[in-house]
């Protein structure tokens, strides 16, 4: 058995082990209290075994402080990746972003954060464009080496890259059960743009282990830790406990054949996906950590055969596809999270003033603050009764974001950005994209029609509707704009009956 883990490179110049120790379990919901000194010693033991890279976030309890303790007491060089998951409060200032980065640097005892990963809750909220601009500024200042993202779907990763952001990594769920990464477009987008994929959920929080073979499905989620709660939802979304047990038995047979654990087979399976740089395996940083390191080394002692893959594919046929794209579990039902509910992250656009105006039959106008709105005498959207009318919209970058146009020279990405802007306007007036009944698309170049149509189709497929649509080629004001879209919504009619000729 090899005694050191395989390594790879992210961002072009940073060497990492292909198994990263994830510290979500220090966030609570697993252990009530973390002994920082003991956790720091466990971190050193893992690093001495070659597992010298750790993944955490601003909300992972004391995880960043443990890294800081190691740096204060040891000369051991380790890699620490963290995340910034700001609250959805609409604050867009550089000062707030700098405070978040500086706090992480101070907690971790580092002058430079090797990888700062950003999480976007809502693509229709343009706050993330401002925050990524701020992170790029701090990258130029030397406070951040690489910028990554978490749970970003294919369309929006492509949008970020086409807009000019250098994205080193994307952290997403990927396992033998959750195949969204390879079944959708995300794998090809990451490969094309050399974005390293950091896969998590590979062991389904511990369900992919000998412990759960032929065991009954847990009845009470409240008796499970956060990881098991989260991934039980994944198992149910993928077809339920019965098909999962079939998959688990196949994984057990393969593990027995190679003389390794089920966890090693599950991890090897994901690592052999060409676009996966590394997997993130949960670690509690305890006295047992050295034993976990030994077991993790099993992953690098064998390779899966064609027969192994055939057995796995056959077991996967009994599973259902997890709905949507990577990261959708944080943005639309079914919410496959520990809580199973993200209502505390969803903004309440039905404010009292809006509700009163709707009730009294007022005309409601929504403006974005564009300087052209008062000059040309228009607004982004108007609501009268249950109808919302959205003006022709281009991929104009938000004020304060110094890029010429969102999506750059890609008509497909500009379309995604435009529909995000339209979504923001509809939400502000009390609706959602699922209320859209009509769109009109103007495309500058005829050769872009197919890619624009694919982007439009993807967005509304996610909403479960198909609005009526007109697409035509025409001249647009501003050479950088490749697409313009206007839309109409009617609230209360998103329950669909489909008829065919």
Note the pLDDT tens digit of each residue in 384-400: 999 999 999 999 999 88
In the three-class reduction of DSSP (H, G, I as helix; E, B as strand; rest coil), residue 41 is classed as helix
Task: Look up the CATH architecture of domain 348-490.
Answer: 2-Layer Sandwich (3.30)
Please classify residue 416 by burial: count the beta carbons closer than 10 Å to its beta carbon, then call 0-12 exposed, 13-18 middle and 19+ buried: buried
Domain range annotation of the chain = 7-330, 348-490
> Could you identify the residue written with the tokens 């676009």?
275
Rounded average pLDDT over 322-328:
93
CA-based nearest residue to 85, from 99, 102, 100: 100
CA-based nearest residue to 41, from 288, 349, 294, 266: 288
Rounded Cα distance between 157 and 149, Å, is: 9
Rounded Cα distance between 378 and 391, Å, is: 8
Q: Assess contact for 204 and 231: CB atoms under 8 A.
A: yes
Percent of the chain with pLDDT over 70: 97
Rounded Cα distance between 66 and 19, Å, is: 19
List Cβ neighbours of 484 (8 Å cut-off, separation of 6 or more).
Answer: 392, 393, 394, 418, 441, 442, 476
Please classify residue 75 by burial: count the beta carbons closer than 10 Å to its beta carbon, then call 0-12 exposed, 13-18 middle and 19+ buried: exposed
Task: Write the Ramachandran bin of 206: left for phi over 0, alpha for psi from -120 to 50, otherwise beta.
Answer: left
Rounded Cα distance between 212 and 199, Å, is: 22
Q: How confident is the model at residue 225 (pLDDT cuts 50, 70, 90)?
A: confident
Task: Look up the CATH architecture of domain 7-330.
Answer: Alpha-Beta Barrel (3.20)
List Cβ neighbours of 224 (8 Å cut-off, separation of 6 or more).
Answer: 218, 232
Residue 18 is classified by DSSP as S
- In this structure, what token pair is assigned to residue 391? 């003006």
Give all strands (DSSP E) within 265-332, no chain letters: 276-282
Q: Assess contact for 230 and 322: CB atoms under 8 A.
A: no
**Of 336 and 273, the one with more pLDDT:** 273
pLDDT digits (tens, 9 = 90+) for 326-359: 999 999 888 888 788 776 665 555 578 898 999 9
Q: How confident is the model at residue 1 (pLDDT cuts 50, 70, 90)?
A: very low
Residue 429 is classified by DSSP as T
Which whole-number Å values give the CA distances from 256 to 264, 270, 399, 438, in the listed order?
11, 19, 59, 57
What backbone phi and psi angles, to 5 degrees, belong to 321? -70, 135
Residue 242 has pLDDT above 90, yes or no: yes
Nearest 10 degrees: Cα torsion 451, 455, 460, 466: -10
């Amino acid at each position: 058995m090899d005694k050191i883990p395989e390594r790879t490179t992210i961002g072009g110049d940073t060497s990492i082990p292909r198994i990263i120790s994830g510290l979500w379990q220090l966030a609570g919901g697993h252990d009530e209290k973390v002994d920082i000194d003991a956790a720091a010693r466990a971190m050193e033991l893992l690093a001495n075994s070659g597992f010298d890279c750790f993944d955490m976030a601003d909300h992972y309890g004391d995880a960043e402080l443990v890294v800081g303790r190691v740096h204060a007491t040891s000369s051991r060089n380790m890699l620490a990746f963290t995340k910034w998951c700001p609250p959805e409060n609409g604050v867009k200032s550089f000062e707030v972003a700098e405070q978040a980065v500086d706090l992480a640097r101070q907690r971790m005892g580092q002058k430079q954060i090797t990888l700062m990963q950003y999480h976007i809750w809502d693509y229709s909220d343009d706050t993330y464009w401002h925050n990524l601009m701020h992170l790029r500024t701090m990258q130029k200042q030397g406070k951040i080496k690489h910028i990554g993202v978490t749970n970003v779907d294919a369309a929006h990763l492509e949008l970020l890259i086409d807009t000019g952001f250098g994205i080193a990594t994307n952290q997403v769920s990927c396992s033998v059960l959750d195949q969204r990464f390879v079944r959708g477009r995300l794998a090809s987008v990451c490969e094309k743009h050399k974005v390293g994929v950091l896969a998590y959920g590979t062991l389904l929080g511990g369900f992919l282990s000998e412990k759960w073979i032929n065991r009954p499905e847990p009845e009470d989620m409240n008796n499970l830790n956060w990881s098991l709660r989260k991934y039980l939802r994944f198992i149910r979304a993928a077809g339920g406990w019965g098909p999962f047990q079939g998959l688990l038995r196949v994984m057990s047979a393969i593990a027995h054949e190679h003389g390794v654990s089920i966890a090693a087979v599950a991890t090897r399976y994901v690592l052999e996906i060409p676009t996966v740089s590394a997997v993130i395996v949960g670690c509690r940083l305890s006295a047992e950590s050295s034993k976990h390191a030994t077991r993790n080394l099993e992953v690098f002692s064998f390779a899966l055969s064609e027969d192994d893959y055939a057995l796995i594919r056959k077991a996967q046929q009994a599973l259902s596809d997890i709905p949507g794209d990577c990261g959708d579990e944080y943005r639309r039902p079914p919410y496959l999270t520990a809580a199973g509910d993200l209502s505390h992250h969803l903004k309440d656009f039905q404010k009292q003033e809006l509700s009163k105006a709707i009730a009294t039959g007022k005309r409601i106008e929504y403006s974005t603050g564009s300087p052209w709105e008062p000059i040309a005498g228009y607004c982004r959207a108007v609501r009268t009764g249950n109808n919302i009318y959205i003006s022709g919209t281009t991929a104009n970058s938000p004020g304060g974001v110094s890029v010429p146009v969102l999506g750059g020279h890609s008509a497909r990405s500009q379309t995604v950005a435009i529909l995000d802007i339209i979504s923001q306007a509809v939400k502000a007036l009390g609706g959602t994209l699922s209320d859209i009944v009509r769109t009109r698309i103007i495309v500058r170049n005829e050769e872009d029609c197919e890619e624009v149509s694919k982007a439009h189709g993807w967005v509304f497929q996610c909403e479960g509707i198909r609005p009526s649509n007109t697409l035509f080629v025409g001249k647009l004001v501003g050479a950088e704009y490749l697409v313009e879209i206007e839309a109409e919504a009617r609230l209360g009619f998103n329950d669909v009956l489909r008829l065919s000729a």
